Structure 1
Amino acid sequence: SSEQSECSLGTYSDTVGLTDCKLASPGHYTDVTGATTDFACSFGFYQPLSGQSLCLEADSGHFVSILGATEQIECALGFFQSQSGSDRCTPSEPGNYVNQTGASAQTPCDSGYYENQFVSTECRAADQGHYVAETGSLLQSKCEIGSFSAQIASVECTSATPGHFVSIEGSTNQTVCSNGTFQPEYGQSSCLTAEAGHFVPESDTSEQIPCHTGTYQNLVAMTSCIEADPGYHVPETGMKEQIICAAGSYQFNSGQETCRAADPGHFVQISGLTEQNKCIEGWYQPSEGKTECLQAEPGHFASGIGSVNQTECGLGTFQEWPGASKCEESHIDHYVDTIGSISQSQCPTGSSQPLVGQSKCVWPLGVDSPAILFVFALLGAILVFGLGGWMVMRRRREGTVTETVEHTHSVEAPVQPVYETGAEPEMNTGQSLEELEADLSPPPHAKMNEQGQLLWVDDAGTAYAQNPDGSMVTFNVSTGRWEPLE
């Protein structure tokens, strides 16, 4: 043929006189007509076919690292390629991993995991005592003070719970608060010591306990409280010291919240005592909680110990001194006619009192005194009845004589026997006072006065009185005084 033709795209002719053009070899291309040679695919490109006018770009996740490549190569594990037409793959960076071939991207480590190396196919789980809070982390972090992690691959650490603490970084567990300490908050690095006035009896405690009433604690970090001593008390909870019982109060038991007020009839003179004292004789105390007893006032007495009240001296008694345990009876020839008297009174002139402990004096005959008036009335009654009886008897005798005289005129009087009067018995002058008093025992008509004396007048007109103790007195008209019977 007289004409030649240009080789088309994808073909070439490198020899003169060829009848046909050669196809571009795999891994090569011809992108012009009339080419005298084919061209090798450049880096990042490949061509698996012959007779091609262009090369193919390596896909993402692949690479072509040689010229004239007929195929692309997948990125290996730990590598990736996000671009096409690349001649190499990119190694995974710290905090990432590639766990499959032909990866077009690296994968960030999940939270709880980390990777500090390049070309990683997996991430590392955070160790115990550590955590990884974010994705794509190249390092794990230690748990801060006050927190811990007992697990691997932790996203966060656990705060120490109340009653516990964590004092160092990277802890895998929390520590319980020991006896005498406590912790009410989360995430703490230490425990709190129990304050004075409080206690913590057990470990793993979130609160301190105030000392109960009756107990106290003056030290810190204690596991128990101290009972109040006898003579002391603790009235409130959470107290640091015991309080001494004030004067006027006492406490014989330990561990008490109050002191006992001294009872009426008792006293507590100083503070801190364990018992109360009874008021001594002559002293009294009507109130409770007192530091001393009251002295019985003149005209009063307080008998026995532990008296609550003083007592007024009764009629016939008196007391001039304070602090007496009894009253004194009025003396002979004296009287006390009011209660609560501080002195006795002497019988007025013309009166007397043969007894002690009397409230009035007695008067001789003729004096206006209730007792003597009674005697006068008694004597008057005796005289009236005696005189009346004598007159009646006399009239009867006169009548009898008249009748006898009249009768003698008609009837001869019988011979009367003659009786000689015997000698009168002699009085026994040696009769004892006891026998005499026995003979003078009060007759049935004797009257008792307000002093308890029995009064009577005998047939001879002599006034007698028997005292409550059985002794006898008689009224001497000449002296106007009552005198003991002799």
Structure 2
Amino acid sequence: MNKTRSLNTLPSLLTILVFCNTVAHGHTGHRRLLIDDNVPCPSGHYCPNGTSSPLPCPVGTYNNLMQQTSCRVCPAGYFCSVEALTIGSRCPIGYFCPTGASTPSPCKAGTYNALTGQSACITCPVGHLCPTGSTAPIPCKAGTYGTQTGQSICIACPVGYFCPTGSEAPKMCPAGTYSGNRTEQSTCYFCPAGWYCPHTTEIYHCPHDMYCPVGSVAPTMCPAGTFVSPTGQSCGPCPVGYYCPTGTSQPIPCPQGTYQNKSSGTSIAECISCPCGKYCSSTGLFQPTGYCSSGYYCTGGASSQRPTDGVTGDKCSIDHACPSGSCKQI
């Protein structure tokens, strides 16, 4: 009976002898560790000296080899979320996993991660925002801007400025444009015809004696020979029968006794005196009104068909004849 028990316990004694021989030669725990019945320590577990059964690798560690006395720390870029892992999981985009991570951590506000397997997140660039867990920088929307790196929000564009998508700083509206008295503008508007824009926030109506084409910074005087159109948007040529000095808002008619048969007159000197034998009865004429009446003569510049002033003409004397259109007495 005792002899039988001795034979049954022989494998266990051999295991102990092998283990002791291993210890004696300095090979503990990494290559030849066995548990009871010569079963090697499985992967995902570890078997310290004296262990009777394998222990699962704790959260944050793993073991991809058999016969190990300890587990390996989950490497950077991976996470080990449960026990007894043989391999960690790759960190997803928008997250980071430092060494020994048990769960992925979302990228903090102002950072992002576009790749898997990362141990740190990247700082958000200028002109962008990165909320928590960002997988890519988001350009600041139109009407906002971002001047610094690492921003999680963008700033509203101030009054008088404009901010296209992804702006790194507000841009001042150029001369001749305006943004209105509003924030968060993504573009500036050309000053409309008939108005001028000396500043970037307000527009002003063009004065009646000046003109303002689209994009005007200041009102402009119409040049000589032109006048301001009714809308104030442009200058038009001075009409026949009139003259227009610089800055004219309304054409000035040539006076009685004169006429003007060409457009774009610039001064009264261009009004033509009514020729002899004819008269010019009203202002703004482009030709004489007609011939002087019979019995009268017109020497030039007459405004009446029957002049009597003795300067532009007069009544014919009794001993002279003056047919219609006479320049002098006959």
TM-score by length of 2: 0.76
Query: Aligned equivalents of 1:281 and 1:184: distance in 2?
Result: 61
Deviation at 1:361, TM superposition (A): 4.0
- The answer on 1:90 being equivalent to 2:18 is yes
Q: Which residue number in structure 1 is paired with residue 227 of structure 2?
A: 301
- The answer on 1:108 being equivalent to 2:108 is no
Bigger Cα Rg = 1
Q: Which residue number in structure 2 is paired with residue 241 of structure 1?
A: 169
Query: Aligned equivalents of 1:462 and 1:139: distance in 2?
Result: 136
Kindly tell me: are residues 349 and 179 of structure 1, through their superposed partners in 2, closer, same or farther at Cα, counting changes over 3 Å? same
Q: What do residues 388-409 of structure 1 show as CA deviations (whole Å, max 9, x unaligned)?
A: xxxxxxxxxxxxxxxxxxxxxx
Point out where structure 1 has 5 or more consecutive residues left out of the alignment: 1-47, 49-63, 83-87, 101-105, 363-370, 377-460, 464-471
User: What SS does structure 1 have at the residue aligned with 2:291?
Assistant: helix
Query: Aligned equivalents of 2:4 and 2:250: distance in 1?
Result: 142
Q: Which residue number in structure 1 is paired with residue 255 of structure 2?
A: 331
Q: Which residue number in structure 2 is paired with residue 266 of structure 1?
A: 195
Deviation at 1:327, TM superposition (A): 2.0
Which residue identity does 2:137 align to in structure 1?
Q
Query: Aligned equivalents of 2:309 and 2:253: distance in 1?
Result: 28
Query: Aligned equivalents of 1:482 and 1:217: distance in 2?
Result: 86
Kindly tell me: are residues 338 and 71 of structure 1, through their superposed partners in 2, closer, same or farther at Cα, counting changes over 3 Å? closer
Q: Which residue number in structure 2 is paired with residue 282 of structure 1?
A: 209
Query: Aligned equivalents of 2:309 and 2:207: distance in 1?
Result: 50
Task: Tell me the C-alpha RMSD between the 2 structures.
Answer: 3.4
Deviation at 1:350, TM superposition (A): 5.5
Query: Aligned equivalents of 1:184 and 1:482: distance in 2?
Result: 102
How does 1:357-376 map onto structure 2 within 5 Å? Answer: 357-361=284-288, 371-372=290-291
Query: Aligned equivalents of 1:478 and 1:194: distance in 2?
Result: 92
Kindly tell me: are residues 349 and 160 of structure 1, through their superposed partners in 2, closer, same or farther at Cα, counting changes over 3 Å? same
How does 1:40-119 map onto structure 2 within 5 Å? Answer: 72-75=6-9, 79=12, 81=14, 89-91=17-19, 94=29, 96-100=33-37, 106-118=38-50
Q: Which residue number in structure 2 is paired with residue 228 of structure 1?
A: 157
- The answer on 1:344 being equivalent to 2:266 is no
For the 8 Å contact 1:149–1:157, the answer to whether it is kept is yes
For the 8 Å contact 1:146–1:166, the answer to whether it is kept is yes
- The answer on 1:208 being equivalent to 2:137 is yes
Give aligned-pair identity as a percent.
22
Q: What do residues 242-298 of structure 1 show as CA deviations (whole Å, max 9, x unaligned)?
A: 21111122211432332212222333346xx02333332232244x33434442122
Point out where structure 2 has 5 or more consecutive residues left out of the alignment: 21-27, 298-302, 316-330
Deviation at 1:462, TM superposition (A): 9.3
Give the paired residue count.
296
Q: What do residues 224-253 of structure 1 show as CA deviations (whole Å, max 9, x unaligned)?
A: 222322322223x32211211111222114
Deviation at 1:207, TM superposition (A): 1.8
Q: Which residue number in structure 1 is paired with residue 122 of structure 2?
A: 192
Query: Aligned equivalents of 2:58 and 2:286: distance in 1?
Result: 111
Q: Which residue number in structure 1 is paired with residue 236 of structure 2?
A: 311
- The answer on 1:134 being equivalent to 2:65 is yes
Which residue identity does 2:170 align to in structure 1?
Q
User: What SS does structure 2 have at the residue aligned with 1:81?
Assistant: helix
Which residue identity does 2:42 align to in structure 1?
D
Deviation at 1:474, TM superposition (A): 6.2
TM-score by length of 1: 0.53
User: What SS does structure 1 have at the residue aligned with 2:306?
Assistant: strand
Deviation at 1:218, TM superposition (A): 0.7
